[in-house]
Amino acid sequence: ETGVTQTPRHLVMGMTNKKSLKCEQHLGHNAMYWYKQSAKKPLELMFVYSLEERVENNSVPSRFSPECPNSSHLFLHLHTLQPEDSALYLCASSPGTGGHTRYGYTFGSGTRLTVV
What is the contact surface with another protein in residues (CB under 8 A)?
4, 6, 31, 40-43, 45, 48, 50, 55-56, 90, 92, 94, 97-98, 100-110, 112
CA 10 to chain centre: 14
**Minimum CB–partner distance for residue 16 and another protein (Å):** 28
DSSP state of 107: E
**Minimum CB–partner distance for residue 45 and another protein (Å):** 7
Of 105, 115, 106, 3, the C-alpha closest to 61 is 115
101 contacts 114 by C-beta, under 8 angstroms? no
29 contacts 106 by C-beta, under 8 angstroms? yes
**Minimum CB–partner distance for residue 56 and another protein (Å):** 8
19, 45, 87, 111 from 11: Cα distances, Å: 9, 20, 10, 7
**Minimum CB–partner distance for residue 101 and another protein (Å):** 5
